[in-house]
């Protein structure tokens, strides 16, 4: 088991948000998990809410076919988003809930679905304006003391929100999972990555391929970015645009760890090539300019 001081992400993380769309049988999913583990991608990213609270259970059922695989994984999951669904039959509109009892209940449900006795890293999914940091602290203590959660972090937090929660909880927040791609550069300028660099924590980067917009020829900004990534990929000896996009995120000094969203194992395998791509400063800024549709001032 990992503990707070030894937790490490694999060089890339496999995301499971879109698992419900992949149409895999449990056996095919098990083969997919084994295949990315064989590639060195051992950290997996989940959230209670993924697939309207169904993805963790699908994953758990696949893992049950080979329980020994669990020990090779670092399982990340999240809590805090409530949407109208079978699980929350009384819920009439999407909202956040970060009250202590709700957090504990969410994690216990995640553990049941995953078929596990602990998660390696638990993230508060989105900032909640009604969050009482003391409530979160109480839940984190209970979950940590019970051995149900080994490490804690946040997602989509501003530096100020991060500071507030860190001031209240007893465990170090070891990551902030945020969107990082050249079409959405907010965290480059709002202090999020500066804070991560200062604290020496690795952010997790979601939607490095802009959720697939890169590959949509009808998306003007996506297509403009694809052209620049393609041109730079050729300069780098034939790397494909997706690899160059991962390399763009990896080039940031806060050392974000990209979360792969693809359910296509050939694409996952290809993505590992990004780890050895090195962008020059000028190439990096060309990609930023293509994403933003303008040069920096
Ligand atoms: N914390 C948060 O709030 C948050 C929010 C969003 C996501 N996440 C996490 O981040 C992970 C990644 O996010 P994401 O899924 O948006 O990542 P992404 O990599 O930006 O987008 C993945 C999409 O791009 C498609 N794609 C990838 N390579 C392609 C190619 N060469 N040609 C055409 N299409 C291609 C994939 O389809 P195929 O499957 O067909 O390859 C998939 O639909 C999620 O699984 C989740 O774990 C977290």
Ordered DSSP codes for 42-92: -EEE--TTHHHHTHHHHHHHHHTTSGGGGGG-EEEEEE-EE-SSSTTTT--
pLDDT > 70: what percent of the chain?
98
pLDDT at residue 2 greater than cutoff 50: no
| Atom number of ligand 1 nearest to Cα 16 | 45
Query: Is there a contact between 19 and 73 (Cβ–Cβ < 8 Å)?
Result: no
Could you tell me the pLDDT band of residue 4, with boundaries at 50, 70 and 90? very low
pLDDT in tens, 33-54: 999 999 999 999 999 999 999 9
Nearest-angstrom CA–CA distance, 78 and 297: 37
Could you tell me the pLDDT band of residue 6, with boundaries at 50, 70 and 90? confident
pLDDT at residue 294 greater than cutoff 60: yes
Q: What is the CATH number of the domain that holds 70?
A: 3.20.20.100
- Domain annotation covers residue 224: no
Which residue is catalytic, options 50, 53, 96, 246?
Answer: 50
How far is the centre of ligand 1, averaged over its atoms, from the C-alpha of 199 (Å)?
Answer: 28
- Domain annotation covers residue 247: no
Instruction: Say how many residues make up the chain.
Output: 297
Mean pLDDT in residue range 107-122: 98
Is residue 177 lining ligand 1, measured as CB closer than 6 Å? yes
pLDDT in tens, 126-146: 999 999 999 999 999 999 999
Query: Is there a contact between 53 and 82 (Cβ–Cβ < 8 Å)?
Result: no
pLDDT of amino acid 3? 42
- Domain annotation covers residue 144: yes
Could you tell me the pLDDT band of residue 5, with boundaries at 50, 70 and 90? low
- Domain annotation covers residue 215: no
pLDDT in tens, 262-289: 999 999 999 999 999 999 999 999 999 9
Three-class SS state of 7: coil
Domain holding 174, by residue range, is 13-179
Mean pLDDT in residue range 213-231: 97
Our mutation pick for probing the ligand 1 site, out of 21, 47, 207, counting the most ligand atoms within 8 A of Cβ, is 207
pLDDT at residue 203 greater than cutoff 90: yes
Is residue 17 lining ligand 1, measured as CB closer than 6 Å? yes
Is residue 193 lining ligand 1, measured as CB closer than 6 Å? no
Mean pLDDT in residue range 173-193: 98
Is residue 79 lining ligand 1, measured as CB closer than 6 Å? no
Number of domains in the chain: 1
- Domain annotation covers residue 146: yes
pLDDT at residue 83 greater than cutoff 70: yes
pLDDT of amino acid 1? 35
- Domain annotation covers residue 187: no
Mean pLDDT in residue range 184-208: 98
pLDDT at residue 98 greater than cutoff 50: yes
pLDDT > 90: what percent of the chain?
98
Average pLDDT, the chain: 97
Mean pLDDT in residue range 76-85: 97
């Amino acid at each position: 088991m990992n503990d707070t001081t030894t937790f490490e992400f694999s060089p890339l993380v496999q995301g499971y948000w879109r698992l419900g769309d992949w149409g895999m049988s449990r056996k095919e999913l098990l083969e997919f998990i084994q295949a990315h583990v064989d590639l060195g991608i051992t950290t997996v990213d989940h959230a209670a809410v993924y697939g309207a609270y169904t993805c963790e259970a699908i994953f758990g059922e696949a893992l049950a076919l080979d329980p020994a695989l669990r020990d090779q994984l670092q399982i990340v999951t999240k809590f805090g988003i409530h949407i109208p669904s079978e699980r929350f039959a009384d819920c009439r509109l999407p909202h956040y809930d970060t009250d202590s009892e709700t957090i504990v209940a969410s994690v216990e449900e995640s553990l049941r679905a995953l078929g596990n006795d602990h998660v390696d890293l638990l993230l508060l999914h989105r900032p909640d304006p009604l969050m009482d940091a003391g409530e979160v602290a109480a839940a984190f203590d209970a979950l940590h003391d019970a051995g149900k959660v080994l490490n804690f972090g946040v997602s989509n937090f501003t530096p100020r929100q991060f500071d507030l929660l860190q001031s209240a909880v007893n465990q170090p927040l070891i990551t902030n999972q945020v969107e990082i791609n050249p079409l959405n550069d907010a965290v480059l300028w709002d202090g999020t990555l500066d804070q991560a660099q200062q604290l020496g924590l690795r952010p997790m980067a979601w939607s490095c391929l802009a959720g697939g917009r890169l590959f949509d020829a009808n998306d003007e900004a996506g297509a403009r970015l694809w052209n620049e990534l393609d041109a730079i990929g050729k300069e780098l000896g034939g790397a494909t645009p997706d690899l160059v996009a991962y390399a763009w995120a990896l080039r940031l000094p806060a050392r974000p760890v990209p979360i792969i969203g693809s359910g296509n194992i050939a694409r996952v395998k290809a993505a590992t090539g990004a780890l050895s791509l090195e962008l020059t400063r000028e190439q990096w800024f060309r990609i930023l300019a293509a994403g933003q549709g303008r040069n920096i001032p």
